[in-house]
Amino acid sequence: MLPEIGHFALILSLFFAVALSFVPILGYVKKHKVLMAYSVPLTHVTSLLVLFSFFILAYSFAIDDFSILYVSQNSNSLLPVAFKLSAVWGGHEGSLLLWVLILCGWASAVAYKGKSLPEDIRALVLATLGMVTTGFLAFLLFTSSPFIRLLPDMPKEGADLNPLLQDVGLIIHPPMLYMGYVGFSVAFAFAIAALISGNLNSSWARWARPWTSVSWAFLTLGIGLGSWWAYYELGWGGWWFWDPVENASFMPWLAGTALIHSLAVTEKRGVFKSWTVLLAIFTFSLSLLGTFLVRSGVLTSVHAFAADPTRGVFILVLLFLFVGGSLLLYAMRAADVKSDVSFGLTGREAGLLINNIVLVTLSLTVLLGTLFPLLFDALDMGKISVGAPYFNTMFSPIALFLMLVMAVGPLLRWNRTKLDTLLKQLIFPLVLSVILTGVTLIWQTFEWITMVSLFVAYWVMLLVLIDWFAKLGNSSAGWLQKARRLPRNYYGMLIAHLGMAVSLIGILFVSVQSQEEMVRMAQNDSVTLSGYEFVFNGVSQVKGPNYVANRANISVFQNGRQVASMEPEKRVYQARTQMMTEASIDAGLFRDLYISLGEQLDETTWGVRVHVKPFVRWIWLGGILMALGGLLSALDKRYRKVSGARI
């Protein structure tokens, strides 16, 4: 009975979402205040219904209701409870439900926080979000309902959650990622509302900014978590594979990064207005495209489990409706928008323009590499794959250039910067970065990309510090007070930029200095890597809740002293008889030791893969810093004050 109630709630929510898409618009056209005001309760009711059906699905997982097809495919009675709950989004149907739930969550948050928005804008924003919700609820209900039952002969046992997904990282990775991805719908909705109302002054940018920053922060965390999960769970020791699904989340991130910056210009200076609107549309379109790529199964990928053509077509139609519709609206309206303020070539506006051009170029690069195999196949030119080297050669030089400029950007003033003052500020960090790079690399083999990357990392860090000190001024008295008085927005930027440098250092050292060896090992065999000696002490059998495993024990010595005892496992999950490598990692700020157990080669000998990965934690540490920066700038007092005032 319960699943039917959940299903019914979902159907009901579709009706409310449809109403939400039309009633406020009708009110807007007729200038009818009450109809517009309906947007708020309609949003909340839709959200509550979706939340309710989500709870029912989660409850069905918790009580092992295998009469539900989706539950029986993705759970098992032996599965630990935490994983049963995260299995709710372990498959296609459930992740889509989570997608819609988070969309509704954002919409309700806008309805709740937006009390002070002008009534017509709020109505239009919520109606736009209602349309997106309608589209995805329809997709969910017509092609991928999670409540389909297997009656009367229901299975006694479930097929179990894919062992790869039985992991803490996977409990939080999808919700974080979706929070980001889907959160860009709010900026999109503000842009659409601005276009419809023709009210394209800088206030829409101010309203959209904190929402965009928060979504961006979540997306950053989500991508970071995904990378971390891939690192320890896939057992190859890689942290980024340019897998189509990774790209699907990375493209909106790049565009979203551009959006954050162009929103700042539009808010502060009133320029780039129509560009910012376009960018908001572009960013959300990439989120939708990502959803399409992942959920339609058109791409060969680790993540693409389902391959059901009707789903692909449905979501493609949705994609065209949203992207086409909003671009049409843009084409009709954007001509009326004129940026009335001009700016100089040495101003901060120009710097942010470069930022935008480069970031959009980067996202197009990734887009091209991701879609190229599809294009090739569609033209019947054969099946191809675009390898990681493409992305690396493309990405590194452009990204390094971006960071080089990024460091200077905050030093620029609006409209115009005095070049000689700027040069004076730059000369010291330039010299120091060169020296530091030289000192760090003195015992290394010379390589351009390494040298430039390291230089850029130092350059960014030094300039962040210099900018901060400059803002504090020379007066030594009360600098603490001054430091406190600087806006959160500013600290957010500093921390996020610092995070970029930290990640760059991680990426650099991992790519250049990682050591890896694959060896045959029997009892007491040893292998030495980067000064660490790994001694194999044999393998024992252990039994987990829903798997059995061979667990190796390996002692690690450095300079004759034991530094770690590591236990990588080879698991066999019983429900699917699926084999899984569980790597053992000894983590450290400056290096990770990483061991994964390969196949059993004979009675006592195993294949073993050993890595030493310097600075790998820095990659994710930088990601955390960036996310913190994003959250901090969204919490700036300015937004609270401004949103309290009517404009």
Partner 1 sequence: MHPVRKKRLITISAILVIIGAAVGLMLYALQQNINLFYSPSQISEGEAPNNVMIRVGGMVVEGSVNRDPSSLAVQFEVTDYAHAVKIEYKGLLPDLFREGQGIVAQGKLNQDKVLIAQEVLAKHDEKYMPPEIADALDKAKKKAD
Count of residues in contact with partner 1, rule CB under 8 A: 51
Q: Which stretch binds partner 1 (CB under 8 A): 54-62, 286-294, 387-395, 525-533?
A: 387-395
Output the smallest distance, CB 644 to partner 1, in A. 38
Is residue 118 a contact point for partner 1 (CB under 8 A)? no
Helix 244-269 to helix 203-233 angle, to the nearest 10 degrees? Answer: 160
Report in angstroms how near the CB of residue 531 gets to partner 1 at its nearest: 23
Q: Which residues have CB under 8 Å from 215's CB, separation 6+? A: 179, 180, 181, 182, 183, 184, 186, 187, 256
CA distance 491 to 631: 10
Judged by DSSP in three states, 566 sits in: strand
2 binds partner 1 (CB under 8 A): no
Residue 302 found at the interface with partner 1 (CB under 8 A):
yes
The SS3 assignment for 443 reads: coil
Q: Is 31 exposed, middle or buried (0-12, 13-18, 19+ CB in 10 A)?
A: exposed
* Closer Cβ to partner 1, 368 or 542, answer by number: 368
> Is residue 644 a contact point for partner 1 (CB under 8 A)?
no
For the bound state, the minimum distance from the C-beta of residue 607 to partner 1, rounded and expressed in Å, comes to: 5
Answer yes or no: are the C-beta atoms of 180 and 631 closer than 8 Å: no
Angstrom CA distances, 257 to 244, 362, 599, stand at: 20, 11, 43
Q: Which position among 274, 581, 584, 633 is part of the footprint of partner 1 (CB under 8 A)?
A: 581
Determine the Cα–Cα distance for residues 131 and 127; give it in Å rounded to an integer: 6
Dihedral sign computed on CA atoms, order 539, 543, 549, 555: negative
User: Which of 80, 324, 344, 478 touches partner 1 (CB under 8 A)?
Assistant: 344
Residue 125 CA to residue 148 CA, distance in Å, equals 33
Residue nearer to partner 1 on the CB measure, 252 or 568: 568
User: Looking at beta carbons only, is 435 or 601 nearer to partner 1?
Assistant: 601
Q: Which of 29, 341, 435, 601 binds partner 1 (CB under 8 A)?
A: 601
Q: Is 94 in the site for partner 1 (CB under 8 A)?
A: no
What is the per-residue binding string for partner 1 in 363-382, x denoting contact by CB under 8 A?
-xx--xx--x---x-----x
Cβ density class 170-193: b for 16+ within 10 Å, e for less: bbebbbbbbbbbbbbbbbbbbbbb
Angle between helices 637-644 and 203-233 (to 10 degrees): 140
Is residue 414 within the footprint of partner 1 (CB under 8 A)?
A: no
Stretch that binds partner 1, among 271-279, 280-288, 598-606, 629-637 (CB under 8 A): 598-606
Q: Which is nearer to partner 1, 328 or 518 (CB)?
A: 518
Q: For residues 207 and 117, give the distance between their C-alpha atoms in angstroms, rounded to a whole number.
A: 8
Binding segment toward partner 1, per CB under 8 A, in 9-17, 478-486, 522-530, 600-608: 600-608
Give the Cβ contact number of residue 199 at 10 Å.
15
Contact at 8 Å (CB) between 56 and 2?
yes
Stretch 512-531 residues interacting with partner 1 (CB under 8 A):
518-520
- Is 568 a residue that touches partner 1 (CB under 8 A)? no
Which whole-number Å values give the CA distances from 132 to 260, 296, 491, 614, in the listed order? Answer: 22, 18, 34, 44
Nearer to partner 1 by Cβ, of 349 and 592: the residue is: 349
357 in contact with partner 1 (CB under 8 A): yes
551 binds partner 1 (CB under 8 A): no
Instruction: Quote the CA–CA distance of 403 and 455 in Å, as a whole number.
Output: 11
- Figure out which of the listed residues 142, 305, 428, 590 binds partner 1, where binding follows CB under 8 A: 305
Nearby residues of 94 by Cβ (< 8 Å), 6 or more positions away? 57, 70, 74, 87, 88, 146
Write out the binding residues for partner 1, residues 463-522 only, by CB under 8 A: 518-520
Produce one character per residue of 496-522: b if its CB has 16 or more CB atoms within 10 Å, e if not: bbbbbbbbbbbbbbbebebeeeebebe
**x/- string (CB under 8 A) for partner 1, residues 230-259?**
-----x------------------------
**Beta strands of 189-327 (E only): which ranges?**
none
Contact flags string 604-623 toward partner 1, x per CB under 8 A: ---x-x--------------
Answer for which of 37, 334, 394, 642 binds partner 1 (CB under 8 A) is 394
> What distance lies between CA 245 and its chain's CA centroid?
11
CB of 364 to partner 1, least distance (A): 8
Part in contact with partner 1 (CB under 8 A); list of ranges 5-13, 360-368, 625-633, 637-645 = 360-368
- Closest approach, Cβ 357 to partner 1, in A, equals 6
Tell me how far CA of residue 293 lies from CA of 171, 186, 290, 367, 481, in angstroms. Answer: 22, 21, 5, 11, 50
Q: Which of positions 147-186 make contact with partner 1 (CB under 8 A)?
A: 162, 164
Q: Which stretch binds partner 1 (CB under 8 A): 12-20, 95-103, 215-223, 347-355?
A: 347-355
Q: List residues binding partner 1 (CB under 8 A).
A: 162, 164, 235, 300, 302, 305, 307, 342, 344-345, 350, 353-354, 357-358, 361, 364-365, 368-369, 372, 376, 382-390, 393-394, 397-398, 518-520, 576-581, 596, 598-599, 601-602, 607, 609
